[in-house]
Structure 1
Amino acid sequence: MASDKPNDPTPDRIVAGTQPDVEMAPIANTESKQDRDPYLVVFNSEYDAENPKDWPAGRKWAVTDVLSATGFNRIMVSTIMAPALSTIAKELDMNSTESVMALSIYLLATAFGPLFIGPLSEIYGRKRILHLSNLWFLIWNIACGFATTKELLIAARFLAGFGASAVYALAGGVLGDVWSPEQRGKSLGVYLLIPLLGAAVGPIIGGFMAARTTWRWMFWSTSIFQAVMIFVAFTTFRETYAPLILRTRAEKLRQETGDQQYQTVEERHHSHKSALSVLGRALTRPMRLIMFHPIIQITAAISAFYYGILYILLSTFSDLWVDKYHQSVEISGLHYIALALGEMAGSQIGGPLMDYLYRRMQAARDASSRTLELYVPEFRIPLMFPGALIAPLALFLYGWAGQYRLHWLVVDVGMFFTAFGMQIAGMPLTAYVIDTYAEHTSSAMAATQFLNSLTAFLFPLFAPKMYDALGYGWSGSSMAFAGLIFGFPAPLILWYFGSKFRAKAQSTY
């Protein structure tokens, strides 16, 4: 049986076939290994129509696009309330702290939801968890629109956020299920294109709704969209989790032949364990990764910092235009287009560039080395450095341009390049985690999302006081200095010590 360690460079992890991929090592193997054990249920090493890695490109893009559109709606709901907070607070008799809580508690839920949803998708499959989370989110998002008390609104927002959090855990897992490492950047770029719009488009839509209709339509309209996405998911999304697909195949073989010896690698691994034990190990996996795996600790810390800064900007950007530039709420929301364009440009430039650099470094390594490790996750890291420099410099520009009320275009340019730099730096982190923890990608993504959502929840809470005390100039400078301090050491550590961390990593089982 192959090693449980992530990316363990042993011969058993080398997979023959037209799309050699170290990620499939636990469930796929060579013909010779299958000949040695005819009862081991695996995918055909040359081509297997049920293997998500061998699916036609159209089917791969279909499941990717379903997750992308679902992510757009769920992320948009996290920010759509921002321009209407004062209106909602007045109608439901909320103080400033309670109104901010109604906005940010959604993000707190997205910290804890993936800790359960990610591991469950590695037991029951991606499809089932996606459908259940879609329905859960729809129910509670509708409840937000009908809330008549602040307590009900806050509670419904938390429960809606819990359901929405599934996309954070499932996305990385599904992309790892269907796309090979050489296509990681392209698939991430396409997947992120629509959800990235959600965070920025939310305040734009919210601003116009707050000015022209009741704030309740923010939730009713997104619920209508969610209902449409549920229908699309039910008709389009197919199961992508290879161990579950193989488990279904093994069960069919056992029924047809009456021979109970047909089993998958996963079933043999868990054969001596009770169902409760397997479930317990799965549900604790994200926290074990956070506590004991340096790779998760480092990637989660830097990703969480960028995520927290993003939500500081999202939660205060409108205030800059209303308070400093004396623009209307509707017009202030349009400036979020700069942020959206920055993130879109970062994802569409960063994705192909990451694949290009990865292929070049792989080719150079293959020409000069005879190592058994097919794919080296550390080749994702170099792209982080330009982003780690661009984002802080842009934060300086954004902060001081806003402080001195320079032309609005200068401020928006600063916001554009801040979002662009954070996206360029953040995408390789996601790809690195997917590559390193191929066996339990959803749990690994849940572990990193836990810290992401905590900073997204906490950072905006102190942002108003920070801007009041330091002004926009020194607030932007403080975030920029912190970005330089965080942005460069972390990728250097992963570049020089990542392979050692992977070699010593405890089993993700």
Structure 2
Amino acid sequence: MSQGEREKGLEIKLVTFTEGDKEDPRNWSKGTKWLRTIVVAYTCFAVALGSSLVVMDMPDVAADLGISLDIVHLTISVFVFGFGIGPLFFAPLSEVYGRRPIIIVSMGLYFVFTFPSAFAKNAASLVVGRALAGLAASAPMTVIGGSIADMWDTKDRGLPMAIFSATVFMGPCLGPVIGGYLSAEGWRACYYLLLGVAGSAWAAASLLLPETYAVVLLRRRAEKLRKETGDQGFMTQQERFKKPVNEVIKTSLLRPLVLLFTEPIIFLFSLYLSLIYALLYLLFFAVPLVMEAQGFSLGSVGLSFIPILIGMMLTFGTILPWQAQYYNKVTEDCEAKGVPVPPEARLPSMLVGSVLLPIGFLIFAFTSYGPDRVFWIGPMFGTGIFGYAMISIYVGANSYIVDSFPPLAASAMAAKTLLSRVCGGAIPMFVDRMYHSKLGYVWASFVLAMISLLMMPIPFAFFKWGAKIRGMSKRSAE
């Protein structure tokens, strides 16, 4: 009991979840958990789709509105920048007010702010609308990692986290596939579809997603008990040492930045995921350049993103089940010894992906010649390997961050999201110049493959020495 509680003469009755408590999200049935996991994953898909659905018909946008192509490219950059900035606000707010209201408000604003771009008559409406939509839509990308941690025990979290991770990348990869043919109806048709997807995600979250954050659920229970009994001694652990909301938000706003620059785990994994995002957004511009050189039409260029999706889907039948089996075996061994399961048990899939990533980009680089020298299947094979590596890395990295910082999962994900989206959003502003420079298509991609190779040791280092590194952190699970 704190000094303030003794002065008030309160007999504290700590409000917690009991064993088998039906209000505890971790005690929901598997069917209920999966339904709500799919709902939150769909909100992520709706947001991720918005980042790339509009990339396939940019010259027509520029011609219709009388603006430069650089301004149109800016609509991708500002949308992705919003992904990075928004979590700095949404993550701490979710830790004060809960996951549900933040997700619903975020998706509602995403829907509303897509209208200015869909009906834009000038560059200002287009760019500002995209910037506000990206900022508004950023909550699911960071809050949902915490939502999954709220519902699923650590040992069962692998597949739900994999599905969440897949939707984050499946959305951007499906965007050009859909947009390539939808653009035949005019560039606004892509925005009209985006309005429908955003609106349906907002409705699904509003109707099907309850609160999952234990702190908020217990606070509500304590408030109800105080009201019913008149006994002010009922309170949660957080209420016992409650700080003013403005102080909590101020601290939480800074927390992602503090985590990013003081925690080696978060900084290095965020750096690696920044490379993944940069490479993905680069392909949105590089693949059309390479495939148009092969003589592909606009619609066919969109289809050339399908190998990335195939690579992603193959992970669900190969490396991700293997990763789950490995983690379960480690869990059984740790339970037998009575010790915690180390987060490093999440990393084997990332180890494989880190080896495949530079291989995929090397293949893409050296098959990026015209049709007179290389058959078109070459670059597609390289992007397929990239898709496989991307999910393998992302699932392992996300799970490792969440398991290493469970109480700070939302803030840790916000830190990761900030750096990775800033790097990804910068790509559209220079990728055309890079591929049309003296480097050419081949050597521009080769440089990126070498950067991937240089970063490959990161997961291997943490797999071997991660426990020691976490042991030096006051914030980590250990």
Give the TM-score band, short-chain normalised: over 0.9
State the SS of the aligned residue for 2:439. helix
Deviation at 1:370?
Answer: 5.1
- Residue 431 of structure 1 is matched in structure 2 by 399
Deviation at 1:461?
Answer: 2.5
Structure 2 Cα separation of the partners of residues 76 and 105 of structure 1: 15
Deviation at 1:190?
Answer: 2.8
Structure 2 Cα separation of the partners of residues 484 and 195 of structure 1: 24
Q: Pick from 430, 440, 443: which aligns with 2:408?
A: 440
- Residue 27 of structure 1 is matched in structure 2 by none
Alignment of structure 1 residues 360-399 onto 2, 5 Å: 360-367=329-336, 369=337, 371=339, 374-399=340-365
Is 1:196 aligned to residue 169 of structure 2?
A: yes
Deviations 1:200-246 (A, max 9, x none): 111122221222x1211211221122222222222211111111101
Moved more, 342-351 or 445-454: 342-351
Structure 1 Cα separation of the partners of residues 163 and 133 of structure 2: 26
Q: Pick from 366, 375, 380: which aligns with 1:400?
A: 366
Residues matched between the structures, number: 465
Is 1:146 aligned to residue 114 of structure 2?
A: no
Task: Tell me if structure 1 keeps the 8 A contact 2:405–2:475.
Answer: no
State the SS of the aligned residue for 1:238. coil
The aligned amino acid for 1:463 is V
Task: Tell me if structure 2 keeps the 8 A contact 1:121–1:129.
Answer: yes
Deviations 1:74-126 (A, max 9, x none): 11111011111100011112223212112221101111011111111111111
Structure 2 Cα separation of the partners of residues 487 and 459 of structure 1: 21
5+ residue gaps in structure 2?
2-10
State the SS of the aligned residue for 2:187. coil
Deviation at 1:409?
Answer: 1.9
Structure 2 Cα separation of the partners of residues 446 and 347 of structure 1: 26
Deviation at 1:196?
Answer: 3.0
Structure 1 Cα separation of the partners of residues 166 and 420 of structure 2: 19
- Residue 355 of structure 1 is matched in structure 2 by 324
Is 1:41 aligned to residue 15 of structure 2?
A: yes
- Residue 425 of structure 2 is matched in structure 1 by 457
- Residue 247 of structure 1 is matched in structure 2 by 219
Is 1:293 aligned to residue 284 of structure 2?
A: no
The aligned amino acid for 2:409 is T
Task: Tell me if structure 2 keeps the 8 A contact 1:296–1:448.
Answer: yes
Deviation at 1:472?
Answer: 2.5
Structure 1 Cα separation of the partners of residues 459 and 68 of structure 2: 42
Alignment of structure 1 residues 469-484 onto 2, 5 Å: 469-484=438-453
Deviations 1:417-475 (A, max 9, x none): 11111211221100001111111211110100001101111133332222222222222
State the SS of the aligned residue for 1:43. coil
- Residue 8 of structure 2 is matched in structure 1 by none
- Residue 343 of structure 1 is matched in structure 2 by 312
Structure 1 Cα separation of the partners of residues 109 and 63 of structure 2: 29
Task: Tell me if structure 2 keeps the 8 A contact 1:433–1:441.
Answer: yes
Alignment of structure 1 residues 44-443 onto 2, 5 Å: 44=18, 46-211=19-184, 213-270=185-242, 273-322=243-292, 324-347=293-316, 349-367=318-336, 369=337, 371=339, 374-403=340-369, 405=371, 406-443=374-411
Structure 1 Cα separation of the partners of residues 288 and 424 of structure 2: 17
Moved more, 335-344 or 189-198: 189-198
Task: Tell me if structure 2 keeps the 8 A contact 1:87–1:210.
Answer: no
Structure 1 Cα separation of the partners of residues 351 and 410 of structure 2: 26
Structure 1 Cα separation of the partners of residues 316 and 139 of structure 2: 21
Deviation at 1:42?
Answer: 0.7
Structure 2 Cα separation of the partners of residues 185 and 498 of structure 1: 19
Task: Tell me if structure 1 keeps the 8 A contact 2:92–2:411.
Answer: yes
Structure 1 Cα separation of the partners of residues 244 and 98 of structure 2: 19
Distance 1:81 1:344, change over 3 A: same
Distance 1:347 1:440, change over 3 A: farther
Structure 1 Cα separation of the partners of residues 80 and 56 of structure 2: 17
Structure 2 Cα separation of the partners of residues 483 and 359 of structure 1: 30
Task: Tell me if structure 1 keeps the 8 A contact 2:165–2:394.
Answer: no
Task: Tell me if structure 2 keeps the 8 A contact 1:207–1:333.
Answer: yes
Deviations 1:223-277 (A, max 9, x none): 122222222222211111111101111111111121111111121232xx32221
Deviations 1:359-414 (A, max 9, x none): 222333455x554xx22111112322111111111111111112254222222111
Deviation at 1:354?
Answer: 2.1
Moved more, 376-385 or 463-472: 463-472
Structure 1 Cα separation of the partners of residues 259 and 36 of structure 2: 27
| Identity fraction in percent | 29
Structure 1 Cα separation of the partners of residues 168 and 250 of structure 2: 32
Task: Tell me if structure 1 keeps the 8 A contact 2:402–2:409.
Answer: yes
5+ residue gaps in structure 1?
2-36
Structure 2 Cα separation of the partners of residues 269 and 507 of structure 1: 19
Structure 2 Cα separation of the partners of residues 73 and 434 of structure 1: 23
- Provide TM-score, normalisation by structure 2: 0.93
- Provide TM-score, normalisation by structure 1: 0.87
Structure 1 Cα separation of the partners of residues 466 and 20 of structure 2: 32
Task: Tell me if structure 2 keeps the 8 A contact 1:347–1:423.
Answer: no
Deviations 1:166-208 (A, max 9, x none): 1111221111111111122211223344443211111122221
Deviation at 1:347?
Answer: 4.7
Moved more, 419-428 or 460-469: 460-469
Runs of at least 4 residues off by over 6 Å: none
Structure 2 Cα separation of the partners of residues 231 and 310 of structure 1: 29
RMSD over aligned CA atoms reads 2.0
Deviations 1:269-315 (A, max 9, x none): 32xx3222122112221111112212111111111111111111122
The aligned amino acid for 1:133 is S
The aligned amino acid for 2:406 is A
The aligned amino acid for 2:283 is L
The aligned amino acid for 1:343 is M
Task: Tell me if structure 1 keeps the 8 A contact 2:285–2:432.
Answer: no
